[in-house]
């Protein structure tokens, strides 16, 4: 069932070669040369193997070694570098031993590179991949005695090695030169990762308290306590312990040692280090004082300094005695770091000391990853688990790490999501992003350090566990055992293996989103990513395709099925394995994604629509009939999400396609859409051009039976009257558009059209009573569509206010606002501020009207809107002018005047209305009258009755101010227009003015 198939792995490859070997052959006797080469090979092999690498092959006089096969280690790159340094030393030693025998002097050059390779099954472990070629290239570029490393290796070891950059190497057959660094030496005792201790400690108060209490308890009880701090790599164990140490230093003796992952004689290394830190043999002697067994203890402990030998039991005893004596005067804190790497004998020693020591306050604090308990389930003592930081704490840490605020809020959120409360991951991600100055969210990839850490963890799994984990990784962060089993055609051992993976903290049970299927999820998204990255692409392609079938049978959403088919296609494409079957796969993926994208578009979810449609269109073959229309939808989605440049590109592409295929329907639809685009982006929309295209498209698309298209064309035709304020004309076109949209069964588009239509009816010549009836009709149809309902209610509220029903008007307006606020449609809410102020003015509350307009203006200002803001400013100015607030009014008049388009009639009328009323009381009667008359003239050709009446009323007021007998006449005209609309309240104002104005009888 499970075969050791090929796998993808990140490894470090080392090439080592004898420099000038031909010259050497000439100088040295062949017999000696043979002996020399034999010794040299041995030395190289020893150096490689001591650091956990494998010699892959000897080619001529070159050695190729790989670090990370068959099993990865988190520090493979560093191991390779250390091995290389040792190889150079070994060669020097070899030369020294030869010096007198001949003129032979060996010089080696070494190249190291880290990267992804593919390894075969057990028979052929040989790694292949570009990473290997690059390592070879680096080796060839090195001089005798030199070690050169490549970019990824540099990133992984730079905190632990002394390096200097050299000029990039020109590589044969490679597109870019290879970046290289020269290794000067290694930093002794460096950790596998760069860690930083400069950020303030976040959280951890309770854990610190537990450790503190353990130390106190051991002091009170005067006995040894063994505590093990358990947590994942990077979760903050060492940091926590260092905080504890700093805190207790003054009243306790601290002794610390660390376990190493590999090396000669590492078993007791932590004790060697511990004693050295205490002060070596002298410190031991001092600590033992005049104890009767002092001399023997000192003698035994010299073993740790490499002097003499003793049986383990003797060593255990000596360490215990040392600890007891160290603890005689004050508590002793022994810290053993990285105990998951400890040899069993060291663990035995620790347990021995903790069990047998007497009458001494000792706290042995072991720090380990969970692997310790996998190796040694019976491990004694208290266990303290260190969990990831809470999300609040993680945010705090991120703020501290990104002090300069290089990362955008979105990027920070993404880092938090990926790091899941692990401080080391957080640090590494921030460092990577800061360095690469990458801004795009998708680019939060795996830092190579974390990849190495997790790959090492996964390489500890047995073959079946690994196999299951990889299948699960194809399914996703959440997965179902049923799906994992289906990928292999059934798997008997799955249940037990999953439990094992749970035990190892790699996965955990989760709530299932598929009824009837158990759910699981990866403990960390990065674990999934690393497991996934180990699967060869060919296998990935097969598994994604199989899984797509499995979810499809369970009624999964189209985007999910489409995603997996898309992956299956992509990997085949990358492997150059596109046959008819793969093509069909790609096309189906394209159709599913497109269909999901259209649903997102209809639901106004623009980010999803853009993403799905763009991916869909990329998968549809050029010959696909629907491709052009998908492009059109891509353009619409892009346009609605504000990505105008890309939208324009998609439109042009659709148009080219339509013309090449002589697809008249596509061509007309695209042309219509392009005019919308021009209107939307203010890209020089010409009324004549819009009208011509719409009028041409309507009958043609009608003949083609494309109701959606006809609806759009009518909708387009309704656009030019907007600026001109010919609302009746707009309403007529929209009535047609609505009819066709409904015929096409497009409810969403219908609602959009109806909302515009209602507004046209509100503003145009339709009398208030009829308009209110229409609003009620729309409301009955709008059930469930909250945004549609909101716009109808907003119009209805204004109409009710015109009839003087203010209570009801305000109630409806309030109801309209809720969805805008809840759905975050602040823009819509801001534009409708004019409606709100109209209601308040009709109700006689100028202050409230001003407040509404100011709010709207501020919102538009915040988002930098410049289309409607001048109009809102003009209305605001008019209210202020009527209140006699000349200076404030003038400010907004100025803004409206200087930013309004020439053909934007409403704004042009309203700022004149405002300024006329500012100027009149200031004694500038002539200019005021001129402005007011201009306003009246501008409003005259429109059918915007309220605007006409407002202009007339302003004129009447200006004339009254000047004592002109023409005032009554103007007021009477305003009254007539208001009455035509059925605006009872407005008519009342005008009537009052008629009575009080000069010129009335």
Ligand X SMILES: Nc1ncnc2c1ncn2[C@@H]1O[C@H](COP(=O)(O)OP(=O)(O)O)[C@@H](O)[C@H]1O
Rounded least distance, CB 393 to ligand X, Å: 7
The CA distance from 816 to 812, in Å, is 6
Cβ partners under 8 Å of residue 433, min gap 6? 406, 407, 411, 415, 444
Taking CB within 5 to 8 Å according to partner kind, which of Mg ion, ligand X, none is near residue 46? none
Taking CB within 5 to 8 Å according to partner kind, which of ligand X, Mg ion, none is near residue 52? none
Q: Which is nearer to Mg ion, 196 or 692 (CB)?
A: 196
Rounded least distance, CB 162 to Mg ion, Å: 23
Which residue is closest to Mg ion by CB? 238
Which stretch in 104-112, 232-240, 694-702, 814-822 sits in contact with Mg ion by CB under 5 A?
232-240
Cβ partners under 8 Å of residue 958, min gap 6? 916, 917, 919, 920, 925, 928, 929, 931, 932
Taking CB within 5 to 8 Å according to partner kind, which of ligand X, Mg ion, none is near residue 397? ligand X
CB contact at 8 A, 252 and 332: yes
Strands of 507-510's sheet in order across: 478-479, 519-522, 507-510
Q: Which is nearer to Mg ion, 384 or 760 (CB)?
A: 384
Rounded least distance, CB 236 to Mg ion, Å: 8
Rounded least distance, CB 382 to ligand X, Å: 18
Q: Which is nearer to Mg ion, 238 or 794 (CB)?
A: 238
The CA distance from 970 to 953, in Å, is 7
Ranges of beta strands (E only) in 44-177 are 54-59, 62-67, 108-119, 147-149, 161-169
Q: Which is nearer to Mg ion, 447 or 616 (CB)?
A: 447
- 228 near Mg ion, rule: CB under 5 A: no
Q: Which is nearer to Mg ion, 368 or 713 (CB)?
A: 368
Which stretch in 103-111, 114-122, 193-201, 708-716 sits in contact with ligand X by CB under 6 A?
193-201
Closest C-alpha among 923, 941, 852 to residue 886:
923
**DSSP type of residue 823:** T
DSSP β-ladder status, 7-18 and 478-479: unpaired
> C-alpha dihedral over 237, 242, 248, 254, to 10 degrees?
100
The CA distance from 85 to 191, in Å, is 17
Taking CB within 5 to 8 Å according to partner kind, which of ligand X, Mg ion, none is near residue 448? none
- 192 near Mg ion, rule: CB under 5 A: no
CB contact at 8 A, 48 and 55: yes
Closest C-alpha among 142, 11, 124, 108 to residue 65:
11
End-to-end Cα spacing for the chain = 107
- 257 near ligand X, rule: CB under 6 A: no
Q: Which is nearer to Mg ion, 240 or 568 (CB)?
A: 240
The CA distance from 780 to 854, in Å, is 33
CB contact at 8 A, 757 and 738: yes
Cβ partners under 8 Å of residue 320, min gap 6? 352, 353, 356, 357
DSSP β-ladder status, 478-479 and 519-522: antiparallel
Rounded least distance, CB 203 to ligand X, Å: 5
The CA distance from 992 to 986, in Å, is 10
Beta-bridge partner residues of 115: 11
- 54 near Mg ion, rule: CB under 5 A: no
Residue 192, CB-side half-sphere exposure with 13 Å CA sphere: 23
Which residue is closest to ligand X by CB? 236
Taking CB within 5 to 8 Å according to partner kind, which of Mg ion, ligand X, none is near residue 383? none
- 238 near Mg ion, rule: CB under 5 A: yes
The CA distance from 209 to 204, in Å, is 9
Task: Among 133, 238, 451, 539, indicate the residue that binds ligand X (CB under 6 A).
Answer: 238
Give the total of residues touching Mg ion (CB under 5 A): 2
- 160 near ligand X, rule: CB under 6 A: no
CB contact at 8 A, 257 and 271: yes
The interface with ligand X within residues 911-970 (CB under 6 A) comprises none
Q: Per the omega criterion (within 30 degrees of 0), is the bond before 743 cis?
A: no
- 789 near Mg ion, rule: CB under 5 A: no
Rounded least distance, CB 249 to ligand X, Å: 18
- 75 near ligand X, rule: CB under 6 A: no
From residue 436 to residue 475, the character string flagging contacts with ligand X as x (rule: CB under 6 A) and all else as - is ----------------------------------------
Q: Which is nearer to ligand X, 239 or 832 (CB)?
A: 239
The CA distance from 630 to 601, in Å, is 11
Residue 686, SS3?
coil
**DSSP type of residue 387:** P
Q: Per the omega criterion (within 30 degrees of 0), is the bond before 70 cis?
A: yes
From residue 959 to residue 978, the character string flagging contacts with ligand X as x (rule: CB under 6 A) and all else as - is --------------------
Rounded least distance, CB 868 to Mg ion, Å: 58
804: left (phi over 0), alpha (psi -120 to 50) or beta: left
- 235 near ligand X, rule: CB under 6 A: yes
Q: Which is nearer to ligand X, 125 or 199 (CB)?
A: 199
Which stretch in 233-241, 606-614, 684-692, 754-762 sits in contact with ligand X by CB under 6 A?
233-241
The interface with ligand X within residues 362-421 (CB under 6 A) comprises 397
Q: Which is nearer to Mg ion, 195 or 786 (CB)?
A: 195
- 133 near Mg ion, rule: CB under 5 A: no
- 357 near Mg ion, rule: CB under 5 A: no
Rounded least distance, CB 12 to Mg ion, Å: 22
CB contact at 8 A, 766 and 747: no
Rounded least distance, CB 83 to ligand X, Å: 24
Give the orientation angle of helix 294-301 with respect to helix 312-326, to 10 degrees: 120
Rounded least distance, CB 73 to ligand X, Å: 15
Q: Which is nearer to Mg ion, 10 or 238 (CB)?
A: 238
- 199 near ligand X, rule: CB under 6 A: yes
Which stretch in 45-53, 147-155, 235-243, 956-964 sits in contact with ligand X by CB under 6 A?
235-243
- 30 near ligand X, rule: CB under 6 A: no
CA 307 to chain centroid = 56
Q: Which is nearer to ligand X, 141 or 236 (CB)?
A: 236
Which stretch in 152-160, 237-245, 479-487, 518-526 sits in contact with ligand X by CB under 6 A?
237-245
- 256 near ligand X, rule: CB under 6 A: no
From residue 200 to residue 229, the character string flagging contacts with ligand X as x (rule: CB under 6 A) and all else as - is -xxxx-------------------------
CB contact at 8 A, 771 and 761: yes
Task: Among 234, 270, 616, 856, indicate the residue that binds ligand X (CB under 6 A).
Answer: 234
The interface with ligand X within residues 413-432 (CB under 6 A) comprises 423-424, 427
CB contact at 8 A, 558 and 593: yes
Which stretch in 47-55, 229-237, 772-780, 950-958 sits in contact with Mg ion by CB under 5 A?
229-237
**DSSP type of residue 277:** H
Task: Among 34, 174, 196, 858, indicate the residue that binds ligand X (CB under 6 A).
Answer: 196
Taking CB within 5 to 8 Å according to partner kind, which of ligand X, Mg ion, none is near residue 199? ligand X
Please identify which residue in the block is written with the tokens 């290289």: 180
The interface with ligand X within residues 342-361 (CB under 6 A) comprises none
| Phi, psi for 622 (deg, rounded to 5) | -55, -30
The CA distance from 661 to 167, in Å, is 53
Rounded least distance, CB 232 to Mg ion, Å: 10
Binding site for ligand X (CB under 6 A): 195-197, 199, 201-204, 231, 233-239, 397, 423-424, 427
List residues binding Mg ion (CB under 5 A).
237-238
């Amino acid at each position: 069932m499970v075969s050791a198939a090929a796998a993808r792995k990140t490894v470090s490859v080392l090439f080592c070669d004898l420099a000038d070997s031909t010259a050497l052959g000439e100088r040295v006797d062949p017999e000696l040369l043979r002996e020399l080469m034999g010794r040299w090979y041995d030395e190289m092999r020893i150096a490689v193997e001591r650091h956990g690498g494998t010699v892959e092959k000897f080619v001529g006089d070159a050695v190729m070694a790989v670090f990370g096969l068959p099993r990865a280690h988190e520090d493979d790159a560093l191991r390779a570098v250390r091995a290389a340094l040792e190889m150079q030393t070994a060669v020097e030693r070899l030369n020294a031993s030869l010096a007198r025998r001949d003129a032979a002097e060996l010089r080696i050059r070494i190249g190291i590179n880290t990267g992804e390779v593919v390894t075969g099954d057990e028979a052929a472990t040989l790694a292949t991949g570009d990473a290997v070629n690059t390592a070879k290239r680096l080796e060839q570029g090195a001089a005798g005695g030199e070690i050169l490393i490549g970019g990824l290796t540099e990133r992984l070891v730079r905190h632990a090695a002394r390096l200097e950059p050299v000029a990039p190497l020109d590589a044969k057959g490679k597109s870019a030169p290879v970046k290289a660094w020269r290794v000067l030496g290694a930093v002794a005792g460096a950790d596998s990762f760069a860690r930083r201790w400069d950020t303030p400690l976040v959280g951890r108060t309770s854990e610190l308290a537990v450790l503190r209490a353990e130390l106190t308890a051991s002091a009170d009880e005067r006995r040894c306590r063994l505590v093990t701090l358990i947590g994942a790599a990077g979760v903050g164990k060492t940091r926590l312990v260092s905080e504890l140490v700093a805190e207790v230093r003054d009243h306790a003796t601290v002794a610390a040692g660390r376990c190493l992952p590999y090396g000669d004689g590492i078993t007791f290394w932590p004790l060697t280090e511990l004693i050295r830190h205490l002060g070596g043999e002298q410190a031991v002697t001092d600590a033992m004082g005049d104890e009767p067994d002092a001399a023997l203890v000192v003698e035994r402990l010299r073993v740790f300094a490499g002097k003499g030998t003793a049986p383990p039991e003797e060593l255990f005893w000596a360490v215990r005695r040392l600890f007891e004596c160290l603890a005689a005067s004050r508590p002793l804190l022994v810290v053993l770091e990285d105990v998951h790497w400890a040899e069993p004998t060291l663990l035995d020693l620790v347990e021995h000391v903790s069990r047998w020591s007497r009458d001494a306050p000792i706290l042995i604090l072991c720090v380990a990853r969970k692997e310790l308990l996998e190796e040694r389930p019976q491990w004694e003592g208290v266990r303290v688990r260190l969990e990831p930081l809470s999300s609040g704490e993680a945010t705090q840490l991120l703020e501290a790490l990104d002090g300069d605020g290089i990362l955008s809020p979105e990027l920070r959120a993404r880092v938090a999501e990926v790091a899941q409360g692990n401080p080391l991951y957080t640090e590494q991600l921030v460092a990577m992003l800061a360095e690469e100055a990458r801004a795009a969210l998708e680019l939060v990839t795996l830092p190579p350090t974390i990849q190495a850490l997790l790959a090492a963890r996964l390489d500890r799994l047995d073959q079946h566990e690994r196999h299951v984990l990889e299948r699960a990784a194809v399914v996703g962060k959440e997965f179902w055992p049923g799906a994992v089993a289906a990928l292999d055609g059934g798997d008997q051992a799955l249940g037990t293996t999953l439990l094992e993976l749970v035990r190892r903290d790699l996965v955990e049970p989760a709530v299932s989103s598929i009824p009837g299927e158990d759910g699981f999820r990866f403990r960390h998204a990065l674990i999934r990513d690393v497991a996934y990255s180990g699967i060869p692409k060919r296998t990935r392609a097969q598994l994604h395709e199989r899984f797509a079938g499995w979810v499809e049978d369970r009624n999964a959403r189209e985007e999910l099925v489409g995603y997996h088919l898309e992956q299956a296609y992509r990997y085949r494409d990358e492997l150059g394995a596109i046959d008819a079957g793969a093509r069909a796969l790609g096309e189906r993926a394209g159709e599913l994604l497109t269909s999901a994208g259209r649903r997102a578009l209809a639901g106004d979810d623009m980010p999803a629509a853009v993403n799905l449609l763009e991916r869909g269109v990329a998968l549809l073959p050029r010959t696909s009939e629907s491709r052009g229309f998908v492009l059109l939808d891509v353009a619409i989605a892009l346009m609605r999400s504000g990505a105008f440049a890309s939208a324009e590109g998609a439109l042009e592409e659709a148009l080219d396609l339509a013309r090449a295929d002589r697809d008249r329907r596509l061509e007309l639809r695209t042309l219509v859409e392009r005019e919308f685009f021009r209107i939307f982006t203010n890209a020089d929309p010409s009324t004549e051009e819009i009208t011509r295209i719409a009028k041409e498209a309507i009958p043609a698309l009608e003949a083609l039976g494309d109701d959606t298209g006809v609806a759009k064309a009518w909708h387009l035709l309704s656009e030019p009257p907007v600026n001109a304020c010919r609302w009746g004309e707009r309403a007529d076109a929209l009535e047609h558009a609505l009819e066709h949209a409904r015929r096409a069964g497009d409810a969403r588009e219908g609602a959009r059209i109806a909302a515009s239509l209602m507004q046209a009816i509100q503003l145009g010549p339709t009398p208030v009573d009829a308009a209110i009836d229409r609003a009620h009709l729309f409301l009955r149809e709008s059930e469930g569509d909250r945004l549609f309902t909101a716009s109808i209610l907003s119009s209805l509220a204004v109409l009710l206010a015109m009839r003087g029903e203010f209570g009801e008007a305000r109630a409806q307006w309030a109801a309209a606002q809720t969805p805008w606020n809840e759905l975050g449609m602040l823009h819509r809410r801001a534009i409708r501020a004019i409606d709100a102020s109209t209601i308040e003015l009709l109700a006689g509350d100028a202050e409230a009207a001003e407040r509404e307009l100011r709010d709207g203006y501020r919102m538009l200002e915040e988002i930098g809107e410049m289309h409607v803001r001048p109009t809102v400013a003009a209305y605001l100015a008019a209210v202020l002018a009527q209140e006699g607030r000349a200076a404030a009014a003038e400010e907004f008049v100025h803004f409206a005047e200087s930013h309004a388009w020439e053909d934007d009639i409403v704004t042009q009328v309203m700022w004149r209305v405002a300024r006329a009323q500012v100027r009149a009381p200031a004694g500038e009667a002539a200019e005021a009258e001129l402005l007011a008359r201009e306003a009246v003239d501008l409003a005259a050709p429109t059918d915007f009755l309220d605007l006409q009446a407002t202009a007339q009323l302003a004129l009447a007021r200006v004339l009254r101010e000047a004592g002109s007998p023409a005032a009554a006449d103007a007021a009477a005209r305003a009254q007539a227009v208001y009455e035509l609309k059925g605006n009872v309240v407005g008519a009342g104002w005008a009537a009052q003015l008629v009575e009080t104005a000069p010129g009335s009888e």
